[in-house]
Amino acid sequence: MAAPHTGAWWRDAVIYQVYPRSFADADGDGVGDIAGIRARLGHIRELGADAVWISPWYVSPMADHGYDVADYRDIDPLFGTRADAEALIAEAREAGLRIVVDLVPNHCSDRHPWFRAAVAAGPGSPERELFHFRPGRGEGGELPPNDWPSNFGGPAWSRITEPDGRPGEWYLRMFAAGQPDWNWDHPAVREEFASVLRFWLDRGVAGFRIDVADYLAKAPGLPDRAEYTGESRDPWSDQDAVHEIYRGWRRVLDSYDGERVFVAELWNDDPVRFARYLRPDELHSAFNFPFLQARWDARAMREVIDATIAEHALVGAPTTWVLSNHDTTRHVTRYGRVETGYGFNRAELHGTPVDLELGTRRARAAALLTMALPGCVYIYQGDELGLWEVEDIPMELRQDPAVVGTGGADPGRDGCRVPIPWDGDRAPYGFSPPDADAGPWLPQPADWKAHTVAAQTGDPDSSLELYRRALAVRRAEPALGDGTLTWLPAPGGVLSFTRGQGLVCTVNLSGEPAELPPHTELLLTSGPLDHGLLPPDTTVWLRGAE
Ligand code: TEU
């Protein structure tokens, strides 16, 4: 199938993820904010990104750090004001950066006025129909209405106290108790979100990252998982009805000038079902989590790359490559362990030995691999600094609801959300101003001095300079970005492919140094060569010989 939208920026953009809480704190309260992002936009521009995806900045009680939204049209005072957001969008545009905002349509916050009205209105009211309220099972309704589990541990239901003071109905919440799921069968919910899309499009955003994009529609009747026999894996996700929602959204987006993008967060390992979200009248792109989860192993990597390209080709959508985000263990740490795959097995792997030097070498090699593959690349703030997962945050300082919901069995995601080190030789490393009232909301490691943006700038061996050079080459080389890939013969454990007119990328995932393929020019390596050979865990970009 011919690729639709050939040449559209989102087919091969480099998109930098900002997690606002942890990026830069301008007002000194220990939490990042929009003024901080504005002050540090230069960093993202100099890195060479095309767009910035900003994790939720909306009004929120922060039960899940902003993924619990109480007002989709306004900014939380912790982060600033709507005027700050508008100023950021305008300044980014001037700097050549597009802003992609995070949309959380599966659930809101229990402080959202519509949810509060639903609780106040009582059972059977039209207000309750906007959510999934049900009586409990058991004699006194004391048991959850079905067997669905929350992503944060325990049942996916919370029981409310009715306005008359009695224990009452339960509401569905696939994540924290403070995140009630919307009822997407209700036309008012659909209208509201179309209006929210327009609200931000009118303010000049270039697109939306869609949180848990496969969860919106639920199996009719909310059947027990144990009884469920539908085509999708689970009754709470990947229902056929979700596609109609996205076709509607696409019409809204397409009614605006310019090329704008939807990127779906969906964890779905069935290639055909995954591709359905990316049909030409639905969403443009989705994160490639199977790649993020793959082991650092030549065969596993090649399989996932081939499968990715094949599944996206089914619908003509661009592939995307992502190594880390605000939910996953940072890849320096993952690749520094014996078990290099990622299957949300945080509890199992947390605290197991990590060889940071090895992880860093592989992370650098992986960065050059992702930037050479066809399609879009996502960079999570701090990837470019070679940051690792901070695993020794004391239990009492952890804030992720996944920790609380599982009684600490899940170590949670705080370790990848530690505030970014900008400069200086001790915490807060320029994250907050020197006269800040409060320390960073999560403690930063004592040994991040060499990892600040300032310390790495100008050091040719630093991760930051590697990222900057690689993105500059990627921008200058027409062969990189959108297009096709051709595998080259390579020894066992080595991956080698060409892009377009003779640009070669070779990754050595074996334990032995490897010969370089024939070439006329060495463009970039992720680490030094060894007597002309490519050492283990190293990637090279070459201009291939004819
Ligand atoms: O994540 C969705 C999701 O299913 C997982 O990544 C989730 O974080 C994990 O199962 C928890 O252990 C998205 C957001 O990226 C995440 O930050 C939010 O917490 C979640 O949705 C709820 O909005």
Please tell me whether residue 143 adopts helix, strand or coil conformation.
strand
The conformational region for residue 246 under phi > 0 = left, psi -120 to 50 = alpha, else beta, is alpha
Give 211 Cα–ligand 1 centroid separation in angstroms.
8
Taken in order 173, 179, 180, 184, is the CA torsion positive or negative? negative
Chain-centroid distance of CA 183 in Å reads 24
Higher pLDDT, 408 or 22: 22
**Minimum mean pLDDT among 3-12, 19-28, 179-188, 259-268: which range?**
3-12
pLDDT digits (tens, 9 = 90+) for 280-304: 999 999 999 999 999 999 999 999 9
Give 126 Cα–ligand 1 centroid separation in angstroms.
29
Give 2 Cα–ligand 1 centroid separation in angstroms.
34
Q: Which of 128, 133, 152, 129 is nearest to 144 (CA)?
A: 133
**What pLDDT, on the 0 to 100 scale, is given for residue 1?**
44
Q: What is the mean pLDDT of the chain?
A: 97
Once rounded to an integer, what is the mean pLDDT over residues 174-181?
A: 98
Please tell me whether residue 307 adopts helix, strand or coil conformation.
helix
Rounded CA Rg of the chain: 23
Burial 465-478 (b: 16+ CB within 10 A, else e): ebbbbbbebbeebe
Q: Angle at the Cα of 506 (from 502 to 508), degrees rounded to 5?
A: 170
pLDDT digits (tens, 9 = 90+) for 242-267: 999 999 999 999 999 999 999 999 99
**What pLDDT, on the 0 to 100 scale, is given for residue 400?**
96
Once rounded to an integer, what is the mean pLDDT over residues 469-485?
A: 96
Chain-centroid distance of CA 24 in Å reads 18
Give the sheet arrangement for strand 285-286, strand by strand.
285-286, 261-264, 207-210, 98-103, 51-54, 14-18, 376-380, 320-322
Query: Two tokens at 229?
Result: 């026999």
pLDDT digits (tens, 9 = 90+) for 354-373: 999 999 999 999 999 999 99
Residue in the structure block whose two tokens are 């080259």: 488
User: Binning pLDDT at 50, 70 and 90, where does residue 3 land?
Assistant: low
Give 169 Cα–ligand 1 centroid separation in angstroms.
25
Give 265 Cα–ligand 1 centroid separation in angstroms.
9
Give 289 Cα–ligand 1 centroid separation in angstroms.
13
- Helix extents (H) in 285-326: 289-293, 298-313
Give 264 Cα–ligand 1 centroid separation in angstroms.
13
pLDDT digits (tens, 9 = 90+) for 378-394: 999 999 999 999 999 99
- Ligand 1 atom closest to the Cα of residue 174 is 22
28 and 432 Cβ atoms separated by less than 8 Å = yes
- Ligand 1 atom closest to the Cα of residue 68 is 23
Other Cβ atoms within 10 Å of 273 Cβ, number: 17
Contacts for 230 with CB less than 8 Å, ≥ 6 apart: 219, 239
Give 184 Cα–ligand 1 centroid separation in angstroms.
19
| CA-to-CA separations, 165 to 121, 134, 148, 161, 169, in angstroms, rounded | 13, 17, 27, 6, 12
- Ligand 1 atom closest to the Cα of residue 325 is 15
Pocket test for ligand 1, best of 21, 212, 410 (most atoms within 8 A of CB): 212
**What pLDDT, on the 0 to 100 scale, is given for residue 457?**
98
Pocket test for ligand 1, best of 57, 211, 326 (most atoms within 8 A of CB): 211
pLDDT digits (tens, 9 = 90+) for 489-542: 999 999 999 998 789 999 999 999 999 999 999 999 999 999 999 999 999 999
| Distance between CA atoms of residues 237 and 218, nearest Å | 6
Q: Which of 340, 331, 366, 410 is nearest to 527 (CA)?
A: 366
User: Binning pLDDT at 50, 70 and 90, where does residue 374 land?
Assistant: very high
Pocket test for ligand 1, best of 57, 237, 327 (most atoms within 8 A of CB): 327
502, with CB counted inside 10 A (0-12, 13-18, 19+), is middle
Residue nearest to atom 23 of ligand 1 (CA): 67
Give 451 Cα–ligand 1 centroid separation in angstroms.
27
15 and 371 Cβ atoms separated by less than 8 Å = no
pLDDT digits (tens, 9 = 90+) for 37-65: 999 999 999 999 999 999 999 999 999 99
Residue nearest to atom 6 of ligand 1 (CA): 327
The reply to whether the predicted model has a pTM over 0.85 is yes
- Ligand 1 atom closest to the Cα of residue 175 is 22
Please tell me whether residue 226 adopts helix, strand or coil conformation.
helix
User: Binning pLDDT at 50, 70 and 90, where does residue 7 land?
Assistant: confident
Q: Angle at the Cα of 213 (from 210 to 219), degrees rounded to 5?
A: 155
87 and 77 Cβ atoms separated by less than 8 Å = no
- Ligand 1 atom closest to the Cα of residue 413 is 12
pLDDT over 90 percentage in the chain: 96
Rounded-to-5 percentages of helix, strand, coil across the chain: 30, 15, 50
Q: Does residue 546 carry a pLDDT above 70?
A: no
Query: Two tokens at 485?
Result: 């890939």
Give 230 Cα–ligand 1 centroid separation in angstroms.
24
Q: Which stretch of DSSP H or E encloses residue 379?
A: strand 376-380
* 3-state SS, one letter per residue, for 402-471: HHHHCCCCCCCCHHHCCCCCCCCCCCCCCCCCCCCCCCCCCCCCCCCHHHCHHHHCCCCCCHHHHHHHHH
| Distance between CA atoms of residues 174 and 171, nearest Å | 10
User: Binning pLDDT at 50, 70 and 90, where does residue 171 land?
Assistant: very high
Other Cβ atoms within 10 Å of 328 Cβ, number: 20
| Distance between CA atoms of residues 382 and 329, nearest Å | 12
pLDDT digits (tens, 9 = 90+) for 183-227: 999 999 999 999 999 999 999 999 999 999 999 999 999 999 999
Give 327 Cα–ligand 1 centroid separation in angstroms.
6
Q: Which residues have C-beta atoms less than 6 Å from ligand 1? A: 64, 67, 104, 151, 175, 211-212, 265, 326-327, 402
Residue by residue, DSSP assigns 265-287 as ------HHHHHHTTSTTS-SEE-
Residue nearest to atom 8 of ligand 1 (CA): 327
pLDDT digits (tens, 9 = 90+) for 302-335: 999 999 999 999 999 999 999 999 999 999 999 9
